Amino acid sequence: MTITQLEYIVAVDTYRSFVLAAEKCFVTQPTLSMQVQKLEDTLGVKLFDRSKQPVTPTEIGTEIITQARILLSESEKIKEIITDRKKELSGELKVGIIPTIAPYILPKILHGFIEKYPQVKLVVWEQTTEQIIHELKLGMIDCGILSTPLHESNLTELPVFYENFVAYVSKNSNLSKKKTISPDDIDMEEIWILNEGHCMREQVLNICQRRKSTQGFKHFEYNTGSVETLKRMVDQNNGATILPELALTDLTDKQLDKVRYFKSPEPAREVSIVIQRNFLKRRMIEALKNEILDFLPKRMKTKKKKEVMDI
């Protein structure tokens, strides 16, 4: 039994395909298949049911692959010990980040992080919360940056900041007549919101105390995953929307006039770095967290006078 063989069976389990697993492991499919077969012969059991498409692990295969993931994780710690002793950060950090956070965080931190840690390769994917949780559990990414709490017992959440929600309203909205607003002031018939699958949609509905999906405007239903699109819909089609505070950074003075803040306690989202309980690359992840904290205003580093919205 070798580390390479364990990597191969984990890859087959992750991608449910020998062809795709070989591609991800940068070997030929016959090479990967041969090593998987050798491991099965050594163990005396079948790890995968090859008659099914996609390929699925057998019952005992599932148990062995779970243990293989643990062994591979522990073997990576040997490399971390060496890196820590050298007092340098190097290697690859794979990060998943949700689309409602990415455009407001990444442009602010990338240049500084790369300059400080030139030996680290940062690989980032924009994904939904569901995708990030799935890939964290499979070990396909090292950490996720997303709204919490997730209520996932096998993941660890490291809160980084607390970002207020604000209303962005057209001049025709009743909200525009108020200096500050409360959730009770919001008319769901005029609110533009993200489509299902985005945690910010649920947070906005929770602010409005409406957990069920809404049709929005009576004559038009629009599904989008982009906060920037929501702003444009208000600018050009009236109504109102709810934005995270960092989305205000690039607004013009005219657009800032459309912003209305909530009365205290202000609704907010908790943004965390999420990792596996038995996580690796601790120093890299800590460096990423500190880079985010460095550019944030002090008020976002506390949840005082804020009400964190569940997702």
- Looking at the fold, whether 147 and 125 belong to one and the same domain comes out as yes
Q: Rounded distance, CA 84 to CA 311, Å?
A: 36
Residue 99: which residues within 8 A CB-CB, separation 6 or more?
A: 126, 128, 198, 225, 226, 227
pLDDT at residue number 219: 45
Q: Are residues 229 and 256 in the same domain?
A: yes
Are residues 276 and 127 both part of a single domain? yes
At 223, the pLDDT band (50, 70, 90 cuts) reads low
Q: Give me the CATH number covering residue 77.
A: 1.10.10.10
Helix (H, G, I), strand (E, B) or coil at 174: helix
Residue 116: CATH number of its domain: 3.40.190.10
| Tokens representing residue 135 in the block | 């890939």
Q: Are residues 104 and 177 in the same domain?
A: no
This prediction's pTM: 0.79
Four-residue CA torsion sign, 237, 240, 244, 247 = positive
Please state, rounded to an integer, the average pLDDT across all residues of the chain. 89
Q: Which of 50, 83, 116 is the last residue of a domain?
A: 83
In the predicted model, what is the mean pLDDT of residues 184-190? Answer: 87
| Tens digits of residue pLDDT in 135-160 | 998 888 999 999 999 999 889 999 99
Do 153 and 8 belong to one domain? no
* 304: Cα within 13 Å, side-chain hemisphere: 4
Instruction: State the pLDDT at residue 213.
Output: 42
User: Domain limits at 155?
Assistant: 89-161+268-308
Higher pLDDT, 15 or 211: 15
pLDDT exceeds 50 at position 222: yes
Asked if 238 and 291 sit in the same domain, the reply is no
Last residue of a domain, one of 31, 48, 83: 83
**256 and 197 in one domain?**
yes
**207 shares its domain with 301:** no
Same domain, 157 and 273: yes
Domain count, the chain: 3
Burial class (CB in 10 A: 0-12, 13-18, 19+), 137: middle
Q: What is the mean pLDDT of residues 185-206?
A: 84
pLDDT at 237: 86
Q: What is the share, in percent, of the chain residues with pLDDT greater than 70? A: 95
Predicted confidence (pLDDT) at residue 98 exceeds the cutoff of 50? yes
